[in-house]
């Protein structure tokens, strides 16, 4: 067992799947030189016909991958900057995603879109710091956001094997994570199955991606005051609604910790779904980026717009406090 990094998990998952299935191939800008290290060593192992450097045209190579998938390949596209997804959104949401549905399942488009280093770039400014996983969940594209090294491996393997398009966001805030594990012992992680990362009895914190680790730290800090359950959905679409409902049966209180813009984000959907059909004894709360947030170049301003541990701590204490006050009023 070795101390493995999050980036190594992505690299190993991709290499293992290329070795297992000759239909798996890689498209992207600078993938042969492994600019992000995700594709390190793959050119030497699998050759230039399966590791293809593409022109700087996201619309072109994303569409090319759709055609390759229809012809029987399983391409993985690496996007080095999350905002480039906006250029390719039509190719993913309107073409790759819909072709199977529009052909009654006769066509399959098994493309994986890997976004390495999504979210804040620590001062990389507005056009490099987006985290648009909610956008893909909104249109129904399978979308996953691994928080841990183990899940980075297991979710990428599952995404590559899936017969539908899958977008995997690898948050910048998670790339430095390390874990002691043997990848040979890590199974694929089923899409749409969340995990309770820390059990609790008083409030459920749903944390997405790298914010899982911040939520665990806050839960530990509050351990003497509040029993916090941390729920990691892992997939934002499909979402593990039954897993969330089971957690809320235990706690009855909900705080969502979401590194996306507030309006129409996955945090809003989680809160709405819980309010409609799950057990709540207090108003749910969200900790997110502000409405329409565009992260500035200045590092201090960048961090000021990101959801923080301090905001989460306050939301937890307010949620638990409001529930206790409501109980006292009815007592």
Instruction: Determine if the peptide bond prior to 238 is cis (ω within 30°).
Output: yes
What DSSP element (H or E) covers 60? helix 58-70
Query: Which distant-in-sequence residues (6+ apart) come within 8 Å of 210 by Cβ?
Result: 119, 147, 171, 172, 173, 174, 177, 259
Identified catalytic residue from 97, 128, 213, 237: 128
**CA dist., res. 41 & res. 34, Å (int):** 8
- DSSP at 123: S
Angle 64-239-6 from CA coordinates, rounded to 5°: 65
Is the Cβ–Cβ distance between 210 and 171 less than 8 Å?
yes
Cross-strand pairs, 22: none
- DSSP at 92: I
**CA dist., res. 260 & res. 266, Å (int):** 8
Q: Print burial letters for 91-120: b (CB count within 10 Å at least 16), e (below 16).
A: bbbebbbbbbeeeeeeebbbbbbbbbbbbb
Is the Cβ–Cβ distance between 86 and 49 less than 8 Å?
no
Q: Is 128 a catalytic residue?
A: yes
- DSSP at 128: G
Active site residues: 128
């Amino acid at each position: 067992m070795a101390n493995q990094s999050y980036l190594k998990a992505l690299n190993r998952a991709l290499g293992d799947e290329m070795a297992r299935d000759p239909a798996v191939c890689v498209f992207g800008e600078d993938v042969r030189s492994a600019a992000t290290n995700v594709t390190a060593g793959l050119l030497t192992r699998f050759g230039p016909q399966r590791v293809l450097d593409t022109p700087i045209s996201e619309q072109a190579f994303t569409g090319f991958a759709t055609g390759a998938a229809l012809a029987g390949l399983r391409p993985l596209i690496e996007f080095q900057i999350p905002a480039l997804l906006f250029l390719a959104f039509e190719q993913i949401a309107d073409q790759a995603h819909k072709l199977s549905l529009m052909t009654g399942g006769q066509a399959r488009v098994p493309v994986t879109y890997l976004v390495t280093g999504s979210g804040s770039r620590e001062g990389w400014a507005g056009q490099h710091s987006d985290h648009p996983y909610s956008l893909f969940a909104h249109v129904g594209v399978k979308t996953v956001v691994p928080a841990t090294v183990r899940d980075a491996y297991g979710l990428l393997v599952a995404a590559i094997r899936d017969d539908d398009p899958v977008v995997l966001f690898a948050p910048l805030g998670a790339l430095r994570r390390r874990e002691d594990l043997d990848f040979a012992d890590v199974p694929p992680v089923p899409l749409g199955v969340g995990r309770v990362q820390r059990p609790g009895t008083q409030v459920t914190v749903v944390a997405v991606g790298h914010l899982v680790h911040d939520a665990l730290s806050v839960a530990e800090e509050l351990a003497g005051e509040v029993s916090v359950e941390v729920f990691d959905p892992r997939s934002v679409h499909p979402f593990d609604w039954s897993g969330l409902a089971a957690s809320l049966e235990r706690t009855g209180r909900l705080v969502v910790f979401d590194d996306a813009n507030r309006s129409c984000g996955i945090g809003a959907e989680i809160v709405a779904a819980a309010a409609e059909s799950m057990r709540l004894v207090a108003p749910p709360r969200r900790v997110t980026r502000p409405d329409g947030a565009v992260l500035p170049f200045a590092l201090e301003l960048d961090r000021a717009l990101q959801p923080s541990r301090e905001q989460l701590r306050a939301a937890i204490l307010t949620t638990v406090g409001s529930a206790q006050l409501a109980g006292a009023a009815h007592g």
